[in-house]
Structure 1
Amino acid sequence: MKRTIIAIVMAMMTIASFAKKEPTPVQQWGQLKVVGTQLCDQNGNAVTLRGASLGWHNLWPRFYNAKAVKWLAKDWNAKVIRAAMGIMIEDNYLENPSFALDCIEPVVKAAIKEGVYVIIDWHSHELKTKEAVKFFGKMAKKYGANANVIYEIYNEPVEDSWESLKEYSKAVIDEIRKYDPDNIILVGCPHWDQDIHIVAESPLEGYNNIMYTVHFYAGTHKQYLRDRVDAAMQKGIPVFISECASMDASGDGKLDKSSWNEWVEFMEAKKISWVCWSVSDKNETCSMLLPRAKATGNWTKDLIKPWGKIVRETLREKNEE
């Protein structure tokens, strides 16, 4: 009897060892590219990345760790994770670059290990061309060989004109392309990533695998912004929604679930990639976790705030379709 049990256990272990594992997003899609207005996999098939953004590294550094990345990838089913490296507020990258890199790089390395995509986000509202060129050159040289990496070179311009943003973007893109010829680069739009219609009139020329970011907060931004996105795409502008949420633009206030659902329906119909803000524990609506949530994941439902529950449920649903 004992031998029989041992034989059964060994047989089950053998079967398990040969069982086919689900491919990771990067194993499945590989090197991303832009075809027309569409983000595509290495074979030219349309891809929609859906994921979550960590909060500012200098405000919530505790979530910048490999275990949190793994939990988001495995339990929340995030296909992309955004690392928001703060360029403003105290203890930011410009003031303390070593601290910033100590936060950002473990996230990048963990995303590569877990086989998900990762957005390296220059989280600023002001132009810092010299510093951005140096930073993104360093990141591209170090991580550019990995298909996981996406560069977001300017989070949310506020008062910069599109002409000045174009010059900034050219400088940063040229530096990235010295070391990384093909990973996706996300370019910010004027006025909090709202004025995609201005970009559509005079886009960057001569670059490959470039997309333009739009950000929305569903309680504030309604049909008019979807109309702008739609019109820009009809003019050939590839759009990536690298930050979004369901409340008003302050990040606080009530959840507007109806408007959020309209946005999700729109993004899914247009196959637009989207990333939700934010994995943090601030006392505001857009923060997804309670302060007593551990830094390393294992977040049970009682630790996830209402917006976080919506994000988790939507990611698990849409990324399984």
Structure 2
Amino acid sequence: MRRTKPLLLGSATAATAALLLALTPQLSAGADEGPGAGTRDARGSRDAPAAAPAAAPLGSPVAENGRLAVCDTKLCNQDGRAVQLNGMSSHGTQWFERCLTDGSLDALAHDWDADVLRVSTYVQEGGYETDPERFTEIAQRVVDQAIERGMYAVIDWHMLSPGDPNANTELAKRFFTDMAARYADQPGVFYEIANEPNGVGWASVKSYAEEIIPVVRRHDPDGVVLVGTRAWSSFGVSDGADEREVIENPVDADNIMYTFHFYAASHGDEYLRTLSRAADELPVFVTEFGTQNYAGEGANDFAMSQRYLDLMREKGISWTNWNFSDDHRSGAVFREGTCNGDEWTGTGVLKEAGVWIRDRIRE
């Protein structure tokens, strides 16, 4: 089984990582649209587990790499070596909780050899705002399952519409208080505080981040926080901006990374060049991408997707692919109806994009 591959760093960078791990970081100051009617068949609510899960199993990505931290522009393991995580993002749990079972996550961890699972909790569209307790319980169950299998977990606050993350600040504070309090002692958890900010400037996104990050830090001072960038996490490319607005006015916090999203059939060389430049000056995590168009549907552009994957491997950029469900769109990895059964392994249950991305994760 493939494990997270360390990328050797120079001594100065390793020293920075060791310092970050030793100190408590302190704060100084599209394709996501849900399915059509008739597909919203999530399970009912359940009691949350009484305690966070036990330590990761021996030989797993978390057991081998431990708590991760940001060192310079890289994500580094407990030994100060850069790592690249490869894995999948769930779809919205209000629609596709049934795709996140012991069997499916066993397949993701052991058949796909994934390092990381992104757990997407939508805020609107029938999500968290309708029943905060229920959706917190679902998120905690799935994060627990990822940890039990030795995978890292990205806790994704999936705000999308409205695009201003400040519209949901109080809900976000409640959610991340519950999540950070539960996972403070777990080495394998990331906090993605805003999925795809859109329709607002960088100053608004930055101010939101600087209000939410202390909520996480109050409970989990060591967890890596992932900050969405504007224009659907593209560093503002679609609005005529680029990574310079973040480089010149970064979020005032330590141990954070910035997110970038792309869809290969829609986002070509301009997006690719922006990601390449940004990763040279900022810590970047691609928490969502697809081989289709920006709606997560249509024909797959595997050639352009491979160019992105080659770049991310070259620069050590971690990624999660959208999405681990059986939605009817081509971007969902499972064939429709798969999540109603109990067969998860191999390629027979996968769509074309699922076969392709499974192979890339297993490489």
TM-score, normalised to structure 1, is: 0.88
1:219-277 CA deviation, whole Å, 9 max, x = no partner? 1112211221222233x311000001111111111100110110111000011001000
SS of residue matched to 2:257: strand
Partner residue in 1 for 2:291: 246
2-side partners of 1:278 and 1:74: how far apart? 18
Which one of the candidate residues 232, 255, 274 is aligned to 1:209?
A: 255
1:35 equivalenced with 2:75 (yes/no): no
Partner residue in 1 for 2:186: 146
1-side partners of 2:261 and 2:104: how far apart? 24
1:96 equivalenced with 2:119 (yes/no): no
Q: Unpaired segments of 5 or more residues in structure 2?
A: 1-56, 236-241
What amino acid sits opposite 2:318 in the alignment? S
What amino acid sits opposite 2:122 in the alignment? G
1-side partners of 2:93 and 2:251: how far apart? 30
2-side partners of 1:233 and 1:114: how far apart? 29
Q: Unpaired segments of 5 or more residues in structure 1?
A: 1-20
1:108 equivalenced with 2:143 (yes/no): yes
Alpha-carbon spacing, 1:232–1:294, altered in 2? closer, same or farther (3 Å): closer
SS of residue matched to 2:348: helix
Moved more, 171-180 or 299-308: 299-308
* 2:85 and 2:115 in contact (8 A); partners too: yes
Alpha-carbon offset, residue 302 of structure 1: 2.1
2-side partners of 1:300 and 1:103: how far apart? 26
What amino acid sits opposite 1:247 in the alignment? Q
1-side partners of 2:67 and 2:139: how far apart? 22
* 1:72 and 1:297 in contact (8 A); partners too: no
1:148-192 CA deviation, whole Å, 9 max, x = no partner? 111110111111211111111111100100111111110000001
What amino acid sits opposite 1:54 in the alignment? S
Partner residue in 2 for 1:184: 224
Partner residue in 2 for 1:311: 357
1-side partners of 2:326 and 2:145: how far apart? 21
* Aligned positions of 1:114-153 closer than 5 A: 114-125=149-160, 126=163, 127=165, 128-153=168-193
* 1:65 and 1:103 in contact (8 A); partners too: no
What amino acid sits opposite 1:145 in the alignment? D
Q: Percent identity between the aligned chains? A: 33
Alpha-carbon offset, residue 99 of structure 1: 2.7
1:271 equivalenced with 2:306 (yes/no): no
2-side partners of 1:166 and 1:269: how far apart? 29
* Aligned positions of 1:193-204 closer than 5 A: 193-195=233-235, 197=243, 198-204=245-251
2-side partners of 1:24 and 1:315: how far apart? 15
RMSD between superposed Cα atoms in Å = 1.5
- Alignment length (residue pairs): 294
Which one of the candidate residues 220, 230, 254 is aligned to 2:276?
A: 230
Moved more, 117-126 or 299-308: 299-308
What amino acid sits opposite 2:99 in the alignment? F
* 2:276 and 2:311 in contact (8 A); partners too: no
